[in-house]
Chain A
Protein backbone atom coordinates (compact mmCIF):
# COMPACT_ATOMS: atom_id res chain seq x y z
CA UNK A 1 0.00 0.00 0.00
CA UNK A 2 2.96 2.31 -0.50
CA UNK A 3 1.35 4.34 -3.28
CA UNK A 4 -2.09 4.97 -1.79
CA UNK A 5 -1.57 8.60 -0.83
CA UNK A 6 -5.12 9.15 0.46
CA UNK A 7 -4.99 6.04 2.66
CA UNK A 8 -1.61 7.03 4.09
CA UNK A 9 -2.65 10.61 4.84
CA UNK A 10 -6.00 9.63 6.38
CA UNK A 11 -4.36 6.91 8.48
CA UNK A 12 -1.66 9.30 9.66
CA UNK A 13 -4.29 11.84 10.65
CA UNK A 14 -6.62 9.41 12.39
CA UNK A 15 -4.17 7.18 14.29
CA UNK A 16 -3.40 9.79 17.01
CA UNK A 17 -7.11 10.30 17.57
CA UNK A 18 -7.67 6.54 17.78
CA UNK A 19 -5.00 6.37 20.49
CA UNK A 20 -6.57 9.31 22.29
CA UNK A 21 -10.01 7.69 22.10
CA UNK A 22 -8.59 4.42 23.44
CA UNK A 23 -7.08 6.24 26.41
CA UNK A 24 -10.38 8.08 26.97
CA UNK A 25 -12.29 4.78 26.96
CA UNK A 26 -9.68 3.29 29.28
CA UNK A 27 -9.69 5.97 31.95
CA UNK A 28 -13.27 7.15 31.57
CA UNK A 29 -14.62 3.61 31.92
CA UNK A 30 -15.53 4.34 35.55
CA UNK A 31 -17.96 7.03 34.50
CA UNK A 32 -19.22 6.07 31.04
CA UNK A 33 -19.44 3.00 28.85
CA UNK A 34 -16.14 1.35 28.22
CA UNK A 35 -13.31 -0.13 30.19
CA UNK A 36 -10.06 -1.96 29.80
CA UNK A 37 -11.26 -4.56 27.32
CA UNK A 38 -12.75 -2.12 24.81
CA UNK A 39 -9.85 0.30 25.20
CA UNK A 40 -7.34 -2.47 24.62
CA UNK A 41 -9.08 -3.53 21.42
CA UNK A 42 -9.17 0.07 20.13
CA UNK A 43 -5.52 0.57 21.06
CA UNK A 44 -4.60 -2.61 19.23
CA UNK A 45 -6.71 -1.57 16.23
CA UNK A 46 -4.63 1.59 15.82
CA UNK A 47 -1.45 -0.51 15.60
CA UNK A 48 -3.14 -2.90 13.17
CA UNK A 49 -4.22 0.04 10.97
CA UNK A 50 -0.63 1.29 10.99
CA UNK A 51 0.64 -2.15 10.02
CA UNK A 52 -1.95 -2.44 7.23
CA UNK A 53 -1.09 0.92 5.67
CA UNK A 54 2.64 1.27 6.28
CA UNK A 55 3.66 -2.37 6.19
CA UNK A 56 4.57 -4.92 8.84
CA UNK A 57 8.27 -4.01 8.91
CA UNK A 58 7.57 -0.41 9.89
CA UNK A 59 5.03 -1.56 12.48
CA UNK A 60 7.59 -3.97 13.96
CA UNK A 61 10.00 -1.04 14.30
CA UNK A 62 7.38 0.79 16.39
CA UNK A 63 6.33 -2.26 18.41
CA UNK A 64 8.94 -5.06 18.32
CA UNK A 65 7.35 -8.44 18.92
CA UNK A 66 9.43 -9.06 22.04
CA UNK A 67 8.11 -5.86 23.62
CA UNK A 68 4.55 -6.84 22.71
CA UNK A 69 5.03 -10.26 24.31
CA UNK A 70 6.40 -8.54 27.42
CA UNK A 71 3.24 -6.43 27.69
CA UNK A 72 1.00 -9.51 27.26
CA UNK A 73 2.43 -10.85 30.50
CA UNK A 74 2.73 -7.44 32.18
CA UNK A 75 -0.99 -6.69 32.04
CA UNK A 76 -1.99 -10.01 33.60
CA UNK A 77 0.71 -9.63 36.24
CA UNK A 78 -0.55 -6.12 37.04
CA UNK A 79 -4.08 -7.49 37.59
CA UNK A 80 -2.87 -10.36 39.75
CA UNK A 81 -0.38 -8.06 41.47
CA UNK A 82 -3.19 -5.78 42.62
CA UNK A 83 -4.84 -8.83 44.16
CA UNK A 84 -1.62 -9.86 45.91
CA UNK A 85 -1.08 -6.27 47.10
CA UNK A 86 -4.52 -6.37 48.67
CA UNK A 87 -3.44 -9.57 50.45
CA UNK A 88 -0.26 -7.91 51.72
CA UNK A 89 -2.23 -4.94 53.03
CA UNK A 90 -4.24 -7.36 55.14
CA UNK A 91 -7.36 -7.76 53.01
CA UNK A 92 -8.65 -10.59 50.87
CA UNK A 93 -7.39 -11.37 47.35
CA UNK A 94 -8.66 -8.64 44.94
CA UNK A 95 -10.33 -6.83 47.85
CA UNK A 96 -9.32 -3.30 46.84
CA UNK A 97 -10.77 -1.53 49.87
CA UNK A 98 -7.54 -1.84 51.88
CA UNK A 99 -5.29 -0.34 49.17
CA UNK A 100 -5.86 3.24 50.37
CA UNK A 101 -6.70 4.85 53.68
CA UNK A 102 -10.33 5.28 52.61
CA UNK A 103 -12.35 2.21 51.56
CA UNK A 104 -13.99 3.92 48.55
CA UNK A 105 -10.70 5.48 47.43
CA UNK A 106 -9.07 2.04 47.62
CA UNK A 107 -11.85 0.57 45.51
CA UNK A 108 -11.35 3.34 42.97
CA UNK A 109 -7.58 2.81 42.82
CA UNK A 110 -7.95 -0.96 42.54
CA UNK A 111 -10.51 -0.74 39.73
CA UNK A 112 -8.32 1.75 37.84
CA UNK A 113 -5.22 -0.48 38.06
CA UNK A 114 -7.13 -3.65 37.25
CA UNK A 115 -8.73 -2.08 34.17
CA UNK A 116 -5.29 -0.85 33.11
CA UNK A 117 -3.98 -4.40 33.35
CA UNK A 118 -6.89 -5.69 31.26
CA UNK A 119 -6.27 -2.98 28.64
CA UNK A 120 -2.53 -3.68 28.39
CA UNK A 121 -2.93 -7.42 27.95
CA UNK A 122 -5.83 -7.17 25.48
CA UNK A 123 -4.04 -4.59 23.32
CA UNK A 124 -0.81 -6.58 23.33
CA UNK A 125 -2.59 -9.87 22.49
CA UNK A 126 -4.46 -8.24 19.58
CA UNK A 127 -1.23 -6.73 18.20
CA UNK A 128 0.71 -9.97 18.66
CA UNK A 129 -1.99 -12.11 16.99
CA UNK A 130 -2.25 -9.77 14.01
CA UNK A 131 1.53 -9.49 13.61
CA UNK A 132 1.83 -13.28 13.73
CA UNK A 133 -0.83 -13.73 11.04
CA UNK A 134 0.66 -11.01 8.85
CA UNK A 135 4.18 -12.34 9.32
CA UNK A 136 3.09 -15.80 8.17
CA UNK A 137 1.31 -14.44 5.12
CA UNK A 138 4.44 -13.13 3.38
Chain B
Protein backbone atom coordinates (compact mmCIF):
# COMPACT_ATOMS: atom_id res chain seq x y z
CA UNK B 1 0.00 0.00 0.00
CA UNK B 2 2.71 2.46 1.01
CA UNK B 3 4.86 1.28 -1.91
CA UNK B 4 1.93 2.00 -4.26
CA UNK B 5 1.75 5.53 -2.86
CA UNK B 6 5.49 5.89 -3.43
CA UNK B 7 5.09 4.83 -7.07
CA UNK B 8 2.19 7.27 -7.58
CA UNK B 9 4.21 10.14 -6.09
CA UNK B 10 7.22 9.28 -8.27
CA UNK B 11 5.03 9.41 -11.38
CA UNK B 12 3.54 12.73 -10.25
CA UNK B 13 7.03 14.16 -9.68
CA UNK B 14 8.01 13.09 -13.20
CA UNK B 15 4.94 14.65 -14.81
CA UNK B 16 4.92 17.90 -12.85
CA UNK B 17 6.69 20.95 -14.28
CA UNK B 18 6.00 23.19 -11.28
CA UNK B 19 9.08 22.73 -9.12
CA UNK B 20 7.32 24.01 -5.99
CA UNK B 21 4.90 21.09 -6.25
CA UNK B 22 7.80 18.72 -6.93
CA UNK B 23 9.55 19.83 -3.71
CA UNK B 24 6.34 19.34 -1.72
CA UNK B 25 5.81 15.86 -3.22
CA UNK B 26 9.43 15.07 -2.39
CA UNK B 27 8.70 15.87 1.24
CA UNK B 28 5.66 13.59 1.21
CA UNK B 29 7.79 10.86 -0.42
CA UNK B 30 10.29 11.09 2.43
CA UNK B 31 7.52 10.91 5.02
CA UNK B 32 6.08 7.77 3.38
CA UNK B 33 9.59 6.32 3.24
CA UNK B 34 9.90 6.98 6.98
CA UNK B 35 6.63 5.07 7.55
CA UNK B 36 8.05 2.13 5.59
CA UNK B 37 11.20 2.19 7.76
CA UNK B 38 8.98 2.08 10.86
CA UNK B 39 7.19 -0.98 9.46
CA UNK B 40 10.63 -2.57 8.86
CA UNK B 41 11.48 -1.92 12.56
CA UNK B 42 14.25 0.54 11.62
CA UNK B 43 13.06 3.32 13.93
CA UNK B 44 16.35 5.22 13.98
CA UNK B 45 16.52 5.33 10.20
CA UNK B 46 12.87 6.41 10.05
CA UNK B 47 13.62 9.19 12.50
CA UNK B 48 16.49 10.44 10.36
CA UNK B 49 14.48 10.19 7.16
CA UNK B 50 11.57 12.16 8.63
CA UNK B 51 13.81 14.85 10.11
CA UNK B 52 16.26 15.24 7.22
CA UNK B 53 14.31 14.14 4.14
CA UNK B 54 10.91 15.59 4.94
CA UNK B 55 12.09 18.51 7.05
CA UNK B 56 15.44 20.11 6.35
CA UNK B 57 15.98 19.14 2.72
CA UNK B 58 12.50 20.40 1.77
CA UNK B 59 13.32 23.75 3.38
CA UNK B 60 16.69 23.90 1.60
CA UNK B 61 15.04 23.02 -1.73
CA UNK B 62 12.53 25.85 -1.20
CA UNK B 63 15.45 28.15 -0.43
CA UNK B 64 17.06 27.11 -3.71
CA UNK B 65 13.79 27.75 -5.57
CA UNK B 66 13.64 31.24 -4.08
CA UNK B 67 17.11 31.88 -5.53
CA UNK B 68 16.34 30.44 -8.96
CA UNK B 69 13.05 29.84 -10.77
CA UNK B 70 10.18 27.52 -9.93
CA UNK B 71 9.32 26.41 -13.48
CA UNK B 72 11.05 23.49 -15.14
CA UNK B 73 12.03 23.99 -18.76
CA UNK B 74 10.45 21.74 -21.40
CA UNK B 75 13.21 19.28 -22.39
CA UNK B 76 14.40 19.52 -26.01
CA UNK B 77 15.25 15.85 -26.54
CA UNK B 78 12.97 12.82 -26.41
CA UNK B 79 13.19 10.77 -23.21
CA UNK B 80 13.51 7.47 -25.15
CA UNK B 81 17.17 6.66 -24.44
CA UNK B 82 17.01 7.46 -20.69
CA UNK B 83 13.83 5.36 -20.52
CA UNK B 84 15.57 2.35 -22.08
CA UNK B 85 18.58 2.74 -19.76
CA UNK B 86 16.29 2.98 -16.74
CA UNK B 87 14.30 -0.10 -17.71
CA UNK B 88 17.42 -2.20 -18.41
CA UNK B 89 18.99 -1.15 -15.10
CA UNK B 90 15.75 -1.83 -13.23
CA UNK B 91 15.39 -5.25 -14.85
CA UNK B 92 18.97 -6.14 -13.86
CA UNK B 93 18.31 -5.07 -10.28
CA UNK B 94 15.11 -7.14 -10.09
CA UNK B 95 17.05 -10.09 -11.57
CA UNK B 96 19.66 -9.59 -8.86
CA UNK B 97 17.06 -9.78 -6.07
CA UNK B 98 16.16 -13.37 -7.09
CA UNK B 99 19.38 -14.64 -5.54
CA UNK B 100 18.94 -12.67 -2.33
CA UNK B 101 17.92 -14.52 0.85
CA UNK B 102 14.42 -13.95 2.17
CA UNK B 103 13.82 -10.77 4.18
CA UNK B 104 14.85 -11.25 7.82
CA UNK B 105 16.30 -14.72 7.13
CA UNK B 106 18.72 -15.90 9.82
CA UNK B 107 20.96 -17.49 7.17
CA UNK B 108 21.50 -14.21 5.35
CA UNK B 109 25.19 -13.18 5.37
CA UNK B 110 24.54 -9.81 7.13
CA UNK B 111 22.89 -11.68 10.00
CA UNK B 112 25.77 -14.18 10.29
CA UNK B 113 28.87 -11.99 10.38
CA UNK B 114 29.24 -9.52 13.29
CA UNK B 115 25.55 -8.73 13.92
CA UNK B 116 24.99 -11.62 16.40
CA UNK B 117 28.07 -10.53 18.35
CA UNK B 118 26.79 -6.93 18.55
CA UNK B 119 23.34 -8.07 19.64
CA UNK B 120 24.68 -10.42 22.32
CA UNK B 121 27.65 -8.42 23.62
CA UNK B 122 26.59 -4.83 22.87
CA UNK B 123 24.74 -4.35 26.15
CA UNK B 124 27.49 -6.06 28.14
CA UNK B 125 30.37 -4.16 26.57
CA UNK B 126 28.91 -0.66 26.20
CA UNK B 127 26.00 -0.58 28.66
CA UNK B 128 23.86 1.17 26.03
CA UNK B 129 20.44 -0.45 25.48
CA UNK B 130 19.91 1.08 22.03
CA UNK B 131 22.06 -1.20 19.89
CA UNK B 132 21.99 1.25 16.95
CA UNK B 133 23.64 3.94 19.07
CA UNK B 134 26.16 1.43 20.44
CA UNK B 135 27.17 0.31 16.95
CA UNK B 136 27.23 3.82 15.46
CA UNK B 137 29.15 5.55 18.23
CA UNK B 138 31.34 2.79 19.63
CA UNK B 139 31.92 -0.20 17.33
CA UNK B 140 31.77 1.94 14.19
CA UNK B 141 33.21 5.10 15.70
CA UNK B 142 35.64 5.63 12.80
CA UNK B 143 32.77 5.58 10.29
CA UNK B 144 30.76 8.08 12.29
CA UNK B 145 33.79 10.36 12.62
CA UNK B 146 34.17 10.18 8.84
CA UNK B 147 30.48 10.97 8.32
CA UNK B 148 30.77 13.96 10.60
CA UNK B 149 33.81 15.12 8.64
CA UNK B 150 31.70 14.84 5.45
CA UNK B 151 28.96 17.02 6.97
CA UNK B 152 31.62 19.47 8.18
CA UNK B 153 33.13 19.64 4.71
CA UNK B 154 29.71 20.14 3.10
CA UNK B 155 28.88 22.99 5.44
CA UNK B 156 32.24 24.69 4.90
CA UNK B 157 31.84 24.22 1.13
CA UNK B 158 28.44 25.92 1.10
CA UNK B 159 29.77 28.76 3.22
CA UNK B 160 32.76 29.24 0.92
CA UNK B 161 30.74 29.07 -2.32
CA UNK B 162 27.62 31.00 -1.36
CA UNK B 163 28.56 32.89 1.80
CA UNK B 164 29.01 36.62 1.78
CA UNK B 165 32.13 38.22 3.17
CA UNK B 166 31.16 40.06 6.34
CA UNK B 167 34.42 41.84 7.05
CA UNK B 168 33.55 45.56 6.67
CA UNK B 169 37.19 46.68 6.37
CA UNK B 170 37.78 44.67 3.20
CA UNK B 171 34.49 45.30 1.40
CA UNK B 172 35.24 48.70 -0.26
CA UNK B 173 38.54 47.61 -1.78
CA UNK B 174 37.25 44.29 -3.04
CA UNK B 175 33.60 45.10 -3.82
CA UNK B 176 34.01 45.28 -7.60
CA UNK B 177 36.05 42.11 -7.76
CA UNK B 178 33.67 40.33 -5.38
CA UNK B 179 30.56 41.25 -7.41
CA UNK B 180 32.23 40.03 -10.61
CA UNK B 181 33.28 36.89 -8.85
CA UNK B 182 29.82 36.14 -7.46
CA UNK B 183 28.20 36.77 -10.86
CA UNK B 184 30.59 34.25 -12.39
CA UNK B 185 29.73 31.83 -9.61
CA UNK B 186 25.98 32.00 -10.31
CA UNK B 187 26.59 31.40 -13.99
CA UNK B 188 28.57 28.25 -13.40
CA UNK B 189 26.05 26.88 -10.91
CA UNK B 190 23.14 27.55 -13.27
CA UNK B 191 25.01 25.84 -16.07
CA UNK B 192 25.50 22.71 -14.02
CA UNK B 193 21.85 22.47 -13.01
CA UNK B 194 19.73 22.03 -16.06
CA UNK B 195 16.38 23.47 -15.02
CA UNK B 196 17.49 26.89 -13.86
CA UNK B 197 17.34 29.23 -16.79
CA UNK B 198 17.32 32.79 -15.49
CA UNK B 199 19.02 32.45 -12.14
CA UNK B 200 20.41 35.97 -12.04
CA UNK B 201 17.05 37.65 -12.77
CA UNK B 202 15.28 35.31 -10.38
CA UNK B 203 17.84 36.16 -7.72
CA UNK B 204 17.27 39.89 -8.03
CA UNK B 205 13.50 39.44 -8.11
CA UNK B 206 13.57 37.40 -4.93
Q: Which residues of A contact B (CB under 8 A)?
A: 25, 29-35, 37-38, 41-42, 44-45, 48, 52, 65-66, 69, 72-73, 75-76, 79-80, 83, 94, 96, 103-105, 107-108, 110-111, 114-115, 117-118, 121-122, 124-126, 128-130, 132-138
Q: B residues within 8 A CB of A121? A: 148, 151-152, 155
Of chain A, the residue at the smallest CB distance from B51 is A41
Residue from B56, B64, B124, B130 within 8 A of A33 (CB atoms): B130
A19 to chain B, nearest CB (A): 14
A82 to chain B, nearest CB (A): 9
Pairwise interchain contact B48-A124, C-beta atoms closer than 8 A: no
Q: Cα distance A137–B205 when bound, in Å?
A: 9
Q: Cα distance A35–B138 when bound, in Å?
A: 13
B21 to chain A, nearest CB (A): 20
Q: A residues within 8 A CB of B51? A: 38, 41-42, 45
Pairwise interchain contact B127-A125, C-beta atoms closer than 8 A: no
Residue from A44, A66, A133 within 8 A of B67 (CB atoms): A133
Residue from A35, A73, A76, A130 within 8 A of B132 (CB atoms): A35
Does B104 count as interface, using CB distance less than 8 angstroms? no
Q: A residues within 8 A CB of B133? A: 29-30, 35, 111, 115
Does B191 count as interface, using CB distance less than 8 angstroms? no
Of chain B, the residue at the smallest CB distance from A66 is B166
Of chain B, the residue at the smallest CB distance from A22 is B51
A-B contacts, 5 of them at CB < 8 A, read A66-B166, A115-B137, A121-B152, A126-B56, A128-B159
Residue from B46, B63, B154 within 8 A of A125 (CB atoms): B154
Interface residues of B in 141-185 (CB under 8 A from A): 141-142, 144-145, 148-149, 151-152, 154-156, 158-159, 162-164, 166
Q: Cα distance A13–B67 when bound, in Å?
A: 30
Q: Cα distance A61–B63 when bound, in Å?
A: 20
A29 to chain B, nearest CB (A): 5
Pairwise interchain contact B206-A111, C-beta atoms closer than 8 A: no
**Residues of B in contact, count (CB < 8 Å):** 47
Pairwise interchain contact B137-A128, C-beta atoms closer than 8 A: no
Residue from B63, B128, B155 within 8 A of A108 (CB atoms): B128
Q: Cα distance A137–B67 when bound, in Å?
A: 5
Pairwise interchain contact B203-A136, C-beta atoms closer than 8 A: yes
Pairwise interchain contact A130-B128, C-beta atoms closer than 8 A: no
Fill in one digit per residue for B11-45: 1 if any A CB lies within 8 Å of its CB, else 0. 00000000000000000000000000000000110
Q: B residues within 8 A CB of A115? A: 133, 137
Q: B residues within 8 A CB of A32? A: 130
Q: A residues within 8 A CB of B155? A: 72, 121, 124-125, 128-129
Q: Cα distance A131–B95 when bound, in Å?
A: 45
Of chain A, the residue at the smallest CB distance from B46 is A33
Of chain B, the residue at the smallest CB distance from A138 is B206
Pairwise interchain contact A29-B145, C-beta atoms closer than 8 A: no
Residue from A33, A37, A45, A110 within 8 A of B138 (CB atoms): A110
Q: Cα distance A114–B124 when bound, in Å?
A: 20
Residue from A34, A65, A130, A135 within 8 A of B59 (CB atoms): A130
B138 to chain A, nearest CB (A): 6
Given contacts A107-B138, A137-B206, 19 further A-B contacts (CB under 8 A): A25-B47, A29-B130, A30-B129, A33-B44, A35-B44, A41-B52, A41-B55, A45-B51, A45-B59, A48-B56, A66-B166, A76-B148, A108-B128, A111-B134, A111-B138, A122-B151, A125-B152, A130-B63, A133-B60
